[in-house]
Amino acid sequence: MRRLRFRSSGMFTLKDEYGRGRCVMLTSSIITMINQWLTANIFYTSFLMIYGIDLVNIGIITFIPYIAGCFGVFAPSILERFEKRRWVLAGGRMIFSTLNILGITLVPVLVHDQGTRIICFVVIIFLANLANALTGSGYSVWHLNFIPDQIRAEYFLKQSIIGNFIGIGCSVVCGIIADALSGSPYADTIIIAFRYLAYVLALIEVVVLALPKEYPYPKTAARPKLRDIVMLPLRSKPFLLSMIVVLLHTVSNNIPAASLNYYLLNDVGIKYTTIYLVNLVYPLVILICQPFCRRLISRYGWFMVFAVSVLLHMPTMLPYSMVTAANYTWLFPLIRIIQHFCGVGINTAFANLQFVNLPPKDQTNYISFHALINNISMFLGMMLGTVLIAWIGDRTVLFLGMQFTSVQILLWIQGIGQILTPAFVFLFLRTLDPNRREKLALSK
């Protein structure tokens, strides 16, 4: 009956509390996607380049959020003390958005010494992400009520399609504006103006996130204990193995993350519009692949679809590393579109990996453990990439008649990681996949 109720009321509707909750989640996802393109990725790299920050310092600044994110282990100790968390979460979100967007934007205006400016960036970014680490996981536990198992795959696919269409669509418009003004006195001004626009959107998101109904939070302990964040996941082998998959994939994916945009903009010379137009193809690919992907997940499970998709993505890393100023007009779009098709399975499955083996009680502890693993792995990936770039320096590697620089070599290392992660999934698939565990238990 519950399944029929969700189906008949529609995925996104204002007629019932579940539909309204999903509408809030979708709105937040859209705003987050827009702001990610306006204040992170290419525009964030450009913002830092405006003020003369080099590649190594960009790498350091980029992995600071993940150091702060490790303090998320204290989140349950804070959140579990509140039976209602709405305004605690809203306050944390407000602090995060104000520091992370407005604070960072104002630093170059108020601080002119380059060394002091970098220190201020690091401190503000750390404090912003500390606030998010201590409260952000509360939204995941709260909103999980609105996406039960039977509609979760469909929800993530639809959210991804809608969020990417709107988010990347806005970024294309902004990219066209930025490219049109490049070389003019307003080139830097428009990048900064995008950040102020993002802050307004972030304030709207804070209000929207406080709207849905809040449900009781199930727990087994009378008082939250810090050790439970580690001890409870360690007692759940399927969940722990799921987190190892998250760690392996996130580390390898983030090795070139801090430096790739700098390379594409500064060394290859790709325009904003080109990057964003290619990214705009992704939601179209999701729309095409959505029914097929949903059937695959239903038949083979989340982990199998994820592992196979990552393996299919792996061969693209070598040609991606061969993108240069001489060939980017055709090679960059070709490789990225191929990656989009593989990315549908990767991103849809990966978004749900933390929930597949999530125990029903003390979920704040498990979600916080996932956040800890996610932040540690992002930090390790970006730190490794930054250290390798500093170590390689201006040296190059001759391969297939081409000279490969440090950032291009990092893409090779990411490709190696895309072999190791699926291998781990296949090795422990009987434990990772709930359906296979159930069949194995019945056979005994």
Is there a domain that residue 243 lies in? yes
Is there a domain that residue 9 lies in? no
Backbone phi, then psi, for 399, in 5-degree steps? -150, 130
CATH number of the domain at 344, please.
1.20.1250.20
| Domain ranges, residue 305 | 14-443
Q: Is residue 259 helix, strand or coil? A: helix
How far from 74 is each of 62, 95, 202, 407, CA to CA, in Å?
23, 17, 25, 35
> What is the model's pLDDT at position 222?
57
Is there a domain that residue 190 lies in? yes
Q: Which pair of structure tokens corresponds to residue 112? A: 């002119």
Measured at the CA of 97, the angle between CA 94 and CA 99, to 5 degrees, comes to 105
First to last CA, the chain: 32
Is there a domain that residue 1 lies in? no
Q: Which pair of structure tokens corresponds to residue 255? A: 């090795």
Q: Look up the pTM and report it.
A: 0.74
Contact 258, 386 (CB under 8 A): yes
* Separation CA 82–CA 87 (nearest Å): 10
Is there a domain that residue 242 lies in? yes
How far from 355 is each of 149, 306, 383, 434, CA to CA, in Å?
9, 14, 28, 11
How far from 349 is each of 152, 310, 420, CA to CA, in Å?
10, 11, 17
Is there a domain that residue 171 lies in? yes
> What is the model's pLDDT at position 441?
67
> What is the model's pLDDT at position 305?
95
> What is the model's pLDDT at position 245?
96
For residue 399, the surrounding DSSP H or E stretch is strand 397-399
Q: Which pair of structure tokens corresponds to residue 105? A: 């934007």
Task: Show pLDDT as tens, one digit a residue, over the chain (444 residues).
Answer: 333 343 434 677 777 888 888 889 899 989 988 888 888 777 777 888 888 787 778 878 887 888 888 887 787 778 877 878 888 999 999 999 999 999 999 998 898 888 899 999 999 999 999 999 888 878 888 888 888 877 877 787 788 788 878 877 887 887 788 777 777 777 788 888 989 999 999 999 999 998 888 887 766 555 657 777 788 888 889 999 999 999 999 999 999 987 888 889 888 988 888 888 898 888 889 888 888 888 999 899 999 999 999 999 999 999 999 999 999 999 999 999 999 999 999 998 998 898 888 888 777 788 878 888 988 998 899 889 989 998 988 898 988 888 999 999 999 999 999 999 999 999 999 999 888 877 776 666
Is there a domain that residue 3 lies in? no
What secondary structure letter does DSSP report for 14?
A: S
> What is the model's pLDDT at position 266?
83
Is there a domain that residue 62 lies in? yes
Residue 75, class by beta-carbon neighbours within 10 Å (0-12 exposed, 13-18 middle, 19+ buried)? Answer: buried
For residue 17, the surrounding DSSP H or E stretch is helix 17-39
Q: Which pair of structure tokens corresponds to residue 377? A: 């792995």
Number of domains the chain is built from: 1
For residue 218, list its beta bridge partners: none
* DSSP secondary structure, 352-373, as one string: THHHHT--SSSHHHHHHHHHHH
Contact 88, 135 (CB under 8 A): yes
Q: Which pair of structure tokens corresponds to residue 55? A: 């590649």
